[in-house]
Each structure stands twice: as C-alpha cells, then as structure tokens.
Amino acid sequence: MEWLRPAIDYGIIGLLLSMSVVAVAVALERHLFFRRVSLVDYPNKKLLELELTRKLHIIATIGSNAPYIGLLGTVLGIMLTFYAMGREGFMDTGVIMVGLALALKATAAGLVVAIPSITLYNVLVRRVREFLLEWEGRHG
C-alpha cells in the first residue's frame, strides 16, 4: 500500500494541476477570441452561439470533476493511513496526522482547481449571453 503515497502526491495532485492549466488555457483562448469577434460576420444567431460556446464545456467539466478527483485522493490517503495504523498496531499520533494531512491536501487541491474553473466558466457564459443579446438587438 506504500505505492499510494506517490500516487496521491504525484498522480492525483499532478492530474489536478494539469486540469487547472487546461482550464486556464481554454479560458484565456476564449477571452482572446471574444475580444476579436465581430457580430457583423455572423448573419445567423445559431452560428454565432456555436462559435462563442466552443470549448466552454471543457472548463465546466474540469470545474465539476475536480472536487471528485480531490475526494478520490482523500479516500486513498485515509486508506493509506488506516492501513499503516493496522500494520503497525500502536502508532504515534504524528504519523497519523501526516497521513490525514496528505489526504486533506488532495481535497484542498481539488477545490482550488474547481472554484476558479467554475468562476471562469460563469464569466465566459455571461459574456456569451451579452454577445447574443447584442446580436439580437442589431438583427431584430
């Protein structure tokens, strides 16, 4: 069960870090696209909406799944702690606390990824709605 410690530290936390990078990269790409979009280039509202919402699902997926991946790290960390406690019998409370801290680190990392991702998603969806309302105002 000792393989769980690096799996949590590098696997779960690394996955969450990479998810965070992807979410920020997609949000930045969408923001840059929004800055250069011209409503007159879109005679059809559905085509405009399709272009504006492209890739936003990636940010939403990351934001909604990051807490679960963090929770998986928490469960694995607690399993590792209980396994060590059962194997050693009587343990120093410091060892137990280190295992629980490792578990909670994964939960915190999941939330650190999810909260900004959902915020970025909501900001971008709001901007999409503004574009669509502006297009409707111009085209009737």
Tens-binned pLDDT, residue by residue, of the chain (140 aa): 777 778 888 899 999 999 999 999 999 999 999 999 999 999 999 999 999 999 999 999 999 999 999 999 999 989 888 888 888 877 788 878 887 888 899 999 999 999 999 999 999 999 999 999 999 999 87
Q: In angstroms, rounded to a whole number, what is the distance separating the alpha carbons of residues 138 and 140? A: 6
Contact 9, 73 (CB under 8 A): no
Angle value at C-alpha 63, between 62 and 67, nearest 5 degrees: 100
Q: Tell me if 110 sits within 8 A of 75, measured CB to CB.
A: no
- Considering Cα of 5, then 63, then 58, then 119, what sign does the dihedral take? negative
Integer Cα distance of 132 and 45 in angstroms: 7
Angle at 9 between CA 65 and CA 77, to 5 degrees: 75
Task: Give the model's pLDDT for residue 20.
Answer: 97
Using DSSP, state whether 91 is helix, strand or coil. coil
Query: Can you give the pTM of this predicted structure?
Result: 0.88
